[in-house]
Amino acid sequence: MSLAVVSGGVTHRRVLAIALPMTLAHLTTPMLGVVDAAVVGRLGSASLLGGVALAAIIFDMLFWVFGFLRMGTVGLAAQAVGRRDAVEERAVLARGLLVAGALGLLIVLLRAPIESAALSLAGASDEVNAAVRDYYAIRIFAAPFTLANYVVLGWLVGLGRTGRALALQVGINFLNMVLSAALVLGAGWGVAGSAAGTLVAEIAGAVAGLVLCALLLGGRLGVAKAVLLDKARLIQTVMLNRDIMIRTAALMFAFSFFAAQGAQAGDVTLAANAILQNMVMVAAYFLDGFATAAEQICGSAVGARRRADFSAGVRLSIVWGFAFALLAGAVYLVTGPAILDAMSTSPEVRAEARIYLLYAALLPVAGVTAYVFDGVYIGALWSRDMRNLMLASLGVYLGVFLALRPLGNHGLWLAMLAFLLARGGFQALRLPTLERRTFGLCQARAALERRPLGLGRRPRPMA
């Protein structure tokens, strides 16, 4: 029997029931950095604070590359839900955990060269590097558990169990905050305490997640070897994850390029851009919730061969995404100056950030279709097209930047706007063709299965 939460059609309520819990789950993540900074900041050492901040960035970038484990698992699980394939629902989790464990162990084995490369690129002071090494040496062993948590979270979302996914994510982050404060300030472990808190929280989260999954699966996680190692399914999983990883790497390059160009414009511009980008990221967490809704709804619609549900999922996710993006943009336009004053005490940085505040308000609106269509493409398993369109959008981004380079930082922000618009625009143009192809194949397969036995159709194997 399928473990999915069955819903009667695609409605506004269903979209919000998925999007809002996942938005809350995403919003707890940046709080970790705030708490770590506040706790370590009480030690009174700028180098320790800088080291923890830099180490957190290193791990964020490292694990962001492996975000495909969550996204890919959502799409695969959602399609299994749509087909009501209980065996494949279980197998998607098992295969994901297998891949996560292998990649996590590989990261641990390669910890020395990863550390060396990260510190070389950062170019920080010796004092900051020492703090980074102390933090890194402990937290790196959380890699297998962090990646396993990605899979569990994606699996729960794919099955429509977003409430449990929210509880698990909030639990991990809350435990992390409590342990970091206790070990840094209470036990006096310093930077090592912050890293140890994260390590223990990730391990506890992985254990709790597996227990939750086992309960949903009737007390066992095991999958028949033949199902787990099914060649076609394994190839599909690997190809899906490869395409999402390339897409994510291109996205990381775009944001890194933005930061690098801001740095070349001077310290004041760099600081102003960083503050505005943080504001944009907060809005992006809300939009990610609607991307997640699109992943689950569109994925299950493809699995169930329900084109009407698919179209409704796309439409309603975009409608609600635009509503939240417009709200965020309006809030930034009205309260932006006060937010900037609260985030910086430098008169120069405040004045510089005000010049570009309009771009920060426009970016969430420009990015709605890009975020939501990413969810649609992942749910439908159109990963190759998503990858190719992301690379094409990156070309637009770099081309616009070069064309507008004489405009300075204005040209950089306009290039980022063009990047987001290109991503959403290209995916919107490609969507009708992919939709016809996907549901045309679904209809052909369904017609074949309805043919009477003896006329060329083989009986379907029992699940």
Give 13-36 pLDDT, tens digit per residue.
999 999 888 888 777 766 666 666
pLDDT at 122 > cutoff 70 = no
Distance from C-alpha of 104 to C-alpha of 98, rounded to nearest angstrom: 10
- DSSP 3-state assignment of 222? coil
Give the residue carrying structure tokens 């409605």.
11
Q: What is the CA radius of gyration of the chain?
A: 23
Structure tokens given for 369? 């279709």
- Indicate the length of the chain as a whole number: 463
Q: Find where tokens 């102390």 sit.
A: 134
* Residue-level pLDDT at 105: 95
Q: Which of 407, 123, 391, 410 is nearest to 276 (CA)?
A: 410
User: To 10 degrees, the CA torsion angle through 314, 287, 373, 60?
Assistant: -150
At position 313, the amino acid (one-letter code) is: G
Is the backbone of residue 461 left (phi > 0), alpha (psi -120 to 50) or beta?
A: beta
Alpha-carbon gap, residue 454 to 272, rounded angstroms: 71
Where would I find the H helices in 42-142? 46-64, 68-83, 86-109, 111-122, 126-139
pLDDT surpasses 60 at 1 = no
User: Given this model, what pLDDT does residue 359 score?
Assistant: 94
Cα-based torsion angle of the residue sequence 63, 128, 28, 274 in order, rounded to the nearest 10 degrees: -90
What is the model's pLDDT at position 3?
A: 55
Q: Quickly list DSSP for 139-151.
A: HGGGHHHHHHHHH
* Rounded percentage of the chain residues whose pLDDT exceeds 90: 46
The C-alpha atoms of residue 435 and residue 331 are separated, in whole angstroms, by 36
Confidence of residue 106 (pLDDT cuts 50, 70, 90): very high
C-alpha torsion angle, residues 143, 147, 148, 153 (rounded to 10): 140
pLDDT at position 458 is 42
Cβ neighbours around 28 below 10 Å, total: 18
Question: Mean pLDDT throughout 3-13?
Answer: 67
Residue 456 — very low, low, confident or very high, per pLDDT cuts 50/70/90? very low
Q: Is 4 exposed, middle or buried (0-12, 13-18, 19+ CB in 10 A)?
A: buried
- For 320-365, how does the pLDDT look when each residue is reduced to its tens digit (9 = 90+)? 999 999 999 999 999 988 888 877 677 888 888 899 999 999 999 9
Q: What residue type is 267 in one-letter code?
A: D
Top mean-pLDDT range of 38-42, 72-76, 114-118, 454-458: 72-76
pLDDT band at 461 (very low <50, low <70, confident <90, very high): very low
pLDDT for residue 388: 96
More confidently predicted of 106 and 269: 106
- CB 131 within 8 Å of CB 191: yes
First to last CA, the chain: 10
The single-letter code of the amino acid at 159 is: L
- Compute the average pLDDT of residues 370-390: 95
Residue 424's alpha-carbon distances to 321, 390, 431, in angstroms, are 13, 9, 10
Backbone angles phi, psi at 23, to 5 degrees: -65, -45
- Across the range 50-61, mean pLDDT stands at 77
Q: What is the pLDDT of residues 230-268, one digit of tens each?
A: 888 888 888 998 999 999 999 988 988 888 888 777 777
Query: Is the pLDDT assigned to residue 2 strictly greater than 60?
Result: no
Distances (CA, A) of 110 to 107, 113, 195, 241, 246: 5, 6, 19, 21, 20
Render pLDDT for 268-277 as a digit per residue (tens, 0 to 9): 787 788 888 8
Residue range 145-167: average pLDDT?
91
What is the residue-averaged pLDDT of the chain?
A: 85
pLDDT of 178 over the 50 cut? yes
Of 450 and 315, the structure prediction assigns the larger pLDDT to 315
- The mean pLDDT value for 93-117 works out to 92
pLDDT value at 406 more than 80: yes
Q: What is the mean pLDDT of residues 212-217?
A: 90
What pLDDT score does 165 carry?
87
**Which pLDDT belongs to residue 219?**
76
Supply 216's token pair.
């949903």
Lookup result for tokens 């254990």: 207
Please give the pLDDT value at position 148: 94
pLDDT of residue 230: 84
Please tell me the predicted confidence (pLDDT) of residue 191: 82
The predicted-structure confidence for 413-451, as pLDDT tens digits, reads as follows 999 999 999 999 999 999 999 999 999 865 555 555 555
Tell me whether residue 316 is exposed, middle or buried, using C-beta atoms within 10 angstroms of its C-beta: 0 to 12, 13 to 18, 19 or more. buried
CA dist 122 and 116 (Å) reads: 10
pLDDT value of position 232 = 86
- The answer to whether the CB of 40 falls within 8 A of the CB of 52 is yes
Residue 60 CB partners (closer than 8 Å, separation 6+):
none
- Per-residue pLDDT, 379: 93
How high is the pLDDT of residue 6?
A: 44
Place of tokens 């370590």: 40
pLDDT at position 34, please? 61
